[in-house]
Amino acid sequence: MSARRLRLGMVGGGEGAFIGAVHRIAARLDDRYDLVAGAFSSNPEVATRSGDALHVAADRCYTRWEVMAEREAARDDGIDVVAIVTPNHLHVPVARAFLAKGIHVICDKPLGLNLAEGHILAEDVARSGCHFVLTHNYSALPMVREAQRRVAAGELGEIRSIEVTYLQGWLNERAELGDNKQARWRADPLRAGAGAAGDIGTHAWQLAAFVTGMSPEAVRGELLTRVAGRQLDDEVFAEMRYASGARGRLWASQVATGHENDLRLHIVGTRASLTFCQQQPNQLTLLPHDAPAFTVTRNGHGMSAAVAQQCRTPAGHPEGYLEGFAQIYREAADLIQGKPMPLLPGIVDGIAGMQFIARLRESSAQGGSWVTWA
């Protein structure tokens, strides 16, 4: 495939949606995509208004994603890739429909509702020959990539401990009972599958696994529902045990009063430690054993040349959340057009996220006992 702009379709993300706009901004940022089709809503009026607002031709605004997959695959100018920005219960069925038509997929996380359907999707991905990309955007931030490079290079020595926390407070009350569209579907077991474990726990899980390159041999934890009447978990505590002897802890909460989007990673090794905080995404702090602590800044002195190529602005000009998504979209375009992108999250990351939820549920049901990862 030539290096032309890719034709992008979108399922979900219509009027009133949050994450759809984030994906569209990300796709535009590096001028690699044209949004040409969409099933933005099953409501015909909303679908039409959304298409008009996004300058998508009326004959390519669909109310059913099954029809969209069929018709776009039949067009000479049909979409190359689809972005799935729906609630979780539709991720797998929508992805399978487009993969079956030979259309690449960029999907919001988590992978789906459960591990079983994740394995089914993995088989479809392999059979289709298409690419499947999962938008774990935090792992695409330059300072996270810098952390991953330094760990892989052995700068921290042998990893002893991993701690990752993701704290939000926006569901500290039952926002799902009001007109908050995002809260309503995230609190619905049929549409979300899991609560905090899926929505932000999988982000924390993938961040720690991405930077360290490590998977545990066993996990244990608790899924808690702190707000009375809520059907899904809103707080998660987990511990990880690794074959190397390393230990890990994960805490994800949507009821951490006063916290906004507080994702933090701390890794301790025999030679050095590192700390990253998503709310200061342009900084990475290193703490060596026998030298003063120091901070590496995005595109600043001390940052590796390979990671600096990802940066879009000079040092001191902040980049963050949207640029992380944009990096996923940039690398997805490169991947689709034939360039290997080894750090791009995909079906393997999605399966691991579903496995994390499944093992936590198993452990929590057994009172927090250790369960094997495999």
What pLDDT, on the 0 to 100 scale, is given for residue 340? 96
Q: What are 152-188's pLDDT values in tens digits?
A: 999 999 999 999 999 999 999 999 999 999 999 999 9
What pLDDT, on the 0 to 100 scale, is given for residue 3? 76
The CATH code of the domain at 139-315+346-365 is: 3.30.360.10
Report whether pLDDT(201) > 70.
yes
Report whether pLDDT(268) > 90.
yes
CA–CA separation, 184 and 67 (whole Å): 27
Structure confidence at residue 366 as a pLDDT band (50, 70, 90): very high
pTM of the model: 0.96
Ranges of each domain in the chain = 6-134, 139-315+346-365
The CATH code of the domain at 6-134 is: 3.40.50.720
Report whether pLDDT(324) > 80.
yes
